[in-house]
């Protein structure tokens, strides 16, 4: 019997690439829910599905729903029983979270509780995956890489609400035996990303001769750095995780039994080096200004860093080099420059 997967936030950047990977690598039927707000753009799904044969695109069913509200019987019946739930829907704009923390509590904590409660009604649920973020661990000192069980240190309301949603998911695993996995992803980039994000925003500024601000340490001048990971690698890692035999890896960490996985790029890079690589690919001059990361906004962190060693030990690493992925995204974005429009 064909499996069914529910993807929340399916019109979002990461989720629509996950849908693409599921369509390409499985015969599963997909139900996706989205409220189509700041982050959700139905044109992502439209472009994706328009490129597929009709018998493939018809496997995707879209349902409009805002997860701040519980899934009522009518919505639940439209979704039906599912085998997998991939919870990617979330408010993720840090500046807006600083301006309006309660909005993000409703989206990322209440919304997560509502989808977890729906998951409890699914009789044939194999796995519930909660997508968390590197930001729950807070800033990483130089040479420190946080593993899956590191302590939390949220430095802004966005990361705090993602940590809250994550802990709710863990509690449903422990209280109701819900089959939950947690994924922590680092900074994701790729095709059809919102133009406010650093990579597409940099591509646009370099193309147009604009000024790029680079957050840096005011004393050392060291720019902020990340382990950027391409969205296709994130989707590939997710399918790898879903295919794991959970009898083959450690599931009990001193009483903490909910499995967690860091999805990490294969190379750390600072943001100044990143924009210079983009400039070289485009054969364009890069205009930039280093600014004090402490003064740009409250709760800003200079460096995030997760360890990818656990996933590597299980057999997964990103397929391509970071520079290869950057070139791929730059070329694609310039060819599809309507995605650079704010």
What's the CATH code of the domain at 202? 3.90.25.10
- 167 with 38, same domain: the answer is yes
The phi, psi pair for 182, rounded to 5°, reads: -115, 130
146 and 273 housed in the same domain: no
- Reported as a single tens digit per residue, the pLDDT across 105-134 is 999 999 999 999 999 999 999 999 999 999
Report yes or no on 207 lying in a domain. yes
- pLDDT over threshold 70, residue 25: yes
Residues 281 and 333 in one domain: yes
Q: Is residue 148 part of a domain?
A: yes
- Boundaries of domain holding 210: 195-226+268-303+321-340
User: What average pLDDT does the structure give for the chain?
Assistant: 93
**Which of 226, 232, 259, 236 is closest to 316 using CA atoms?**
236
173 with 100, same domain: the answer is yes
- Residue 147 inside a domain? The answer is yes
Strands 287-292 and 211-216: parallel
Integer angstrom CA distances of residue 271 from 67, 76, 228, 304: 34, 43, 10, 12
Compute the distance between CA of residue 114 and CA of residue 111 in angstroms, rounded to an integer. Answer: 5
Phi and psi at 281, nearest 5°, equal: -60, -35
Same domain assignment for residues 147 and 207 = no
Sign of CA dihedral 327, 331, 337, 339: negative
User: Does the active-site annotation cover 158?
Assistant: yes
Task: Tell me if 309 is assigned to some domain.
Answer: no
DSSP state of 303: B
Q: Is 43 left (phi over 0), alpha (psi -120 to 50) or beta?
A: alpha
Report the number of distinct structural domains present in the chain. 2
Task: Say yes or no: 44 and 105 in one domain.
Answer: yes
Residue 7 · residue 48 · CB < 8 Å: no
* Those residues with Cβ within 8 angstroms of residue 43's Cβ, 6 or more apart along the chain or in another chain: none
* Same domain membership, residue 288 and residue 167: no
**313 within some domain:** no
Residues 217 and 253 in one domain: no
Considering the domain architecture, whether residues 183 and 277 belong to the same structural domain is answered as no
Question: Does residue 311 fall inside a structural domain?
Answer: no
Q: What is the CATH number of the domain that holds 239?
A: 3.40.50.720
Q: Is the pLDDT at 40 greater than 80, yes or no?
A: no
- Our CA angle for 304, 241, 120, nearest 5°, is 100
For residue 137, what is the DSSP state?
G
Q: What is the pLDDT of residues 52-103, one digit of tens each?
A: 999 999 999 999 999 999 999 999 999 999 999 999 999 888 888 999 999 9
pLDDT at 17 over 60: yes
245 and 326 together in one domain: no
Q: In this structure, is residue 98 part of a structural domain?
A: yes
Choose between 95 and 231: higher pLDDT.
231
Of the candidates 158, 228, 288, 310, the residue annotated as catalytic is 158
Please check whether residues 172 and 113 belong to one and the same domain: yes
Of the candidate ranges 227-231, 257-261, 289-293, the one whose mean pLDDT is the lowest: 289-293
Cα–Cα distance, 170 to 183 (Å, whole number): 12
pLDDT digits (tens, 9 = 90+) for 271-302: 999 999 999 999 999 999 998 866 655 656 78
* Percent with pLDDT over 70 in the chain: 95
In a domain, 103, yes or no: yes
Nearest Cα neighbor of 152 from 142, 164, 141 is: 164
Is 284 found in the same domain as 139?
A: no
């Amino acid at each position: 019997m064909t499996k069914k997967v529910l993807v929340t936030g399916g019109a979002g950047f990461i989720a629509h690439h996950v849908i693409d990977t599921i369509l390409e690598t499985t015969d599963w039927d997909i139900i996706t829910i989205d409220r189509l707000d700041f982050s959700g753009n139905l044109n992502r799904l439209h472009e994706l599905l328009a490129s597929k044969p009709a018998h493939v695109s018809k496997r995707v069913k879209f349902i409009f729903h805002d997860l701040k509200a519980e899934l009522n019987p009518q919505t639940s019946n439209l979704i039906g029983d599912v085998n997998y739930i991939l919870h990617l829907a979330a408010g993720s704009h840090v500046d807006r979270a600083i301006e309006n923390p309660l909005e993000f509590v409703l989206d990322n904590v209440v919304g997560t509780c509502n989808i977890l409660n729906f998951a409890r009604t699914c009789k044939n649920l194999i796995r519930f995956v909660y997508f968390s973020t590197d930001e729950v661990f807070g800033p990483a000192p130089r040479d420190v890489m946080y593993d899956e069980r590191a302590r939390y240190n949220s430095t802004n309301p966005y990361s705090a609400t993602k940590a809250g949603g994550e802990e709710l998911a863990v509690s449903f695993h422990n209280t109701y035996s819900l089959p939950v996995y947690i994924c922590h992803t680092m900074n994701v980039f790729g095709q059809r990303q919102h133009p406010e994000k650093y990579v597409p925003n940099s591509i646009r500024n370099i193309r147009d001769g604009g000024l790029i601000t680079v957050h840096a340490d005011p004393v050392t001048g060291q720019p902020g750095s990340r382990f950027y990971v391409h969205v296709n690698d994130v989707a590939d890692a997710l399918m790898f995780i879903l295919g794991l035999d959970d009898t083959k890896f450690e599931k009990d960490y001193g009483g903490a039994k909910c499995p967690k996985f860091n999805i990490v790029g294969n190379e750390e890079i600072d943001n100044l080096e990143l924009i210079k690589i983009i400039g070289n690919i485009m054969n364009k001059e890069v205009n930039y200004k280093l600014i004090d990361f402490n003064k740009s906004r409250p709760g800003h962190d200079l460096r995030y860093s997760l360890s990818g060693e656990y996933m590597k030990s299980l057999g997964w690493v990103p397929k391509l080099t970071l520079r290869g992925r950057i070139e791929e995204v730059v070329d694609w974005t310039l060819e599809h420059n309507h995605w650079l429009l704010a």
